[in-house]
């Protein structure tokens, strides 16, 4: 073999090796069992898909395998939102969005139904699309409000519309040969709203107090526990290390977020061409610039997902493994890796089982009487 040919082969080999080393390489630190990827399709119901997935992981931890109907919860929340909207005479949010605590609260009130018994569509061949239903309901409710002095009939009309678009709710269903209704299944699964806690980290409220998070989708005025940013991260890390997953709410509108590539990063240079190919320098996040991003609407409540694991890249940078509800056709089969910097800046809130909290956080809060 001629010397220049050998040199060319060695050079090509080295270039390939350098390219491999430069690509994102993830080493798993820990991972929580979760259900399969789903697709919310043309709906704003990520909150139900993310939190249902979170509850399914909670059940798996107990040795139970249940595919929860996201649309049963969505339907019940639409009814609740309609009542809230009418009683507030239209001065409230009526949209497809909600938050994790709305699912937990609805399960406590209404129970839970398996996916097989309430799909919220005629068949799996039909895509979810709530645009017409949402607009139609809002138009009707606006008419009820403008007519003044609403009668009880409007509630039945809302229920009828939901029946048409989502289907009638089953009064009972069978699981392993035994009959249940929604409340009985909730009780059998031992799902209790007091087992879960929502946390956030913002300085416009005192730390270690409860506050109502000022975002549009918090129509029910749910309260969040406020902790310093470092503790918010510690809560997630501790929960994952103990086998608990986390429901995540945050901003996915950044240029560093790519579902297609399965990567979410907060780069110093957003314009670099290899943003989703190789690790690079990221913005240093602290309590102050996080707060500024929230108050300037640079960080908004865009999307909810399910945080199920933790990894590190070849440089030792921490990433959180996120289960999304946009189908499984991206480069990570429906998942994505969110860098620690992105998490610190763009997380609006989280939900976790109280048993997954670090002892320090448990001591700083009294959970009695909630």
Which residues form the domain of 78? Answer: 25-31+40-364
**pLDDT of amino acid 366:** 64
Q: Specify if 20 maps to a domain.
A: no
Nearest to 317 by CA among 342, 335, 348: 342
Given a contact cutoff of 8 angstroms between Cβ atoms, the answer to whether 317 and 339 are in contact is yes
The verdict on residue 245 lying in a domain is yes
Which residues does the chain have with pLDDT short of 70?
1-22, 366-370
Q: Which residue has the tokens 């798993």?
A: 28
- Domain contains 317: yes
Which structure tokens are listed for 204?
């416009």
Count the domains in the chain: 1
What is the pLDDT at residue 288? 98
For the chain, strand residue ranges (E) read 27-31, 173-175, 178-180, 196-200, 210-212, 223-226, 246-250, 257-258, 263-264, 303-312, 318-323, 335-339, 347-353
pLDDT at 4: 54
| CATH number of the domain residue 173 falls in | 3.90.70.10
**CA-wise closest residue to 103 among 41, 60, 64, 50:** 50
Note whether residue 3 is domain-resident.
no
Is 211 within the bounds of a domain? yes
Whole-structure pTM value: 0.92
pLDDT of residue 252: 98
pLDDT of residue 12: 45
pLDDT value of residue 145: 98
Cα 122-127-130 angle, rounded to 5 deg: 90
pLDDT given at position 17: 44
pLDDT of residue 66: 95
pLDDT at 16: 42
* pLDDT value, residue 6: 47
Identify whether 56 is part of a domain.
yes
Q: What does the pLDDT look like over 244-283, one tens digit per residue? A: 999 999 999 999 999 999 999 999 999 999 999 999 999 9
11 within some domain = no
Q: Does residue 46 belong to any structural domain of this protein?
A: yes
Spatial CB neighbours of 309, under 8 Å, sequence gap ≥ 6: 28, 29, 30, 31, 32, 240, 320, 321
Q: What is the rounded CA–CA span in Å between residue 101 and residue 85?
A: 18
The confidence score (pLDDT) of residue 3 equals 55
**What local confidence, expressed as pLDDT, does residue 363 receive?**
85
At 133, list the tokens.
């239903």
């Amino acid at each position: 073999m001629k010397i220049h040919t050998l040199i060319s082969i060695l050079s090509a080999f080295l270039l390939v090796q350098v390219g491999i080393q430069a690509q994102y390489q993830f080493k798993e630190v820990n991972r929580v069992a979760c259900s399969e990827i789903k697709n919310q399709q043309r709906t704003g119901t990520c909150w139900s898909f993310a939190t249902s997935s979170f509850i399914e992981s909670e059940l798996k931890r107990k040795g139970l395998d249940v595919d929860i109907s996201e649309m049963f919860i969505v339907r019940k929340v639409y009814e609740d939102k309609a009542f809230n909207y009418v009683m507030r005479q239209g001065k409230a949010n009526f949209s497809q969005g909600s938050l994790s605590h709305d699912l937990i609260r609805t399960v406590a009130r209404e129970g839970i139904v398996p996916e097989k018994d309430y799909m919220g569509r005629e068949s799996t061949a039909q895509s979810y699309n709530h645009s017409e239903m949402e607009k139609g309901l809002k138009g009707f409710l606006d008419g009820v409000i403008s007519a003044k002095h609403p009668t009880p009939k409007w509630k039945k009309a809302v229920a009828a519309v939901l029946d048409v678009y989502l289907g009638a709710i089953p009064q009972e269903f069978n699981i392993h040969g035994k009959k249940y209704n929604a409340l009985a299944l909730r009780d059998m699964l031992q799902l209790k709203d007091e087992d879960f806690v929502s946390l956030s980290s913002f300085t416009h409220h005192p730390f270690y107090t409860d506050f109502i998070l000022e975002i549009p989708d918090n129509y029910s005025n749910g309260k969040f526990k406020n902790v310093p940013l470092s503790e918010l991260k510690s809560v997630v890390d501790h929960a994952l290390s103990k086998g608990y997953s986390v429901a995540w709410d945050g901003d996915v509108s950044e240029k560093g977020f790519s579902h297609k590539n399965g990567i979410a990063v907060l780069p110093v240079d957003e314009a670099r061409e290899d943003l989703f190919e190789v690790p690079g320098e990221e913005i240093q996040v602290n309590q102050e610039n996080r707060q500024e991003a929230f108050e300037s609407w640079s960080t908004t409540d865009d999307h909810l997902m399910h945080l199920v694991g933790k990894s590190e890249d070849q440089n030792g940078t921490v990433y959180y493994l996120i289960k999304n509800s946009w189908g499984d056709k991206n480069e990570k089969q429906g998942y994505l890796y969110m860098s620690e910097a992105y998490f610190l800046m763009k997380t609006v809130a989280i939900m976790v089982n109280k048993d997954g909290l670090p002892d320090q956080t448990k001591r700083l809060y009294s959970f009695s009487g909630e």
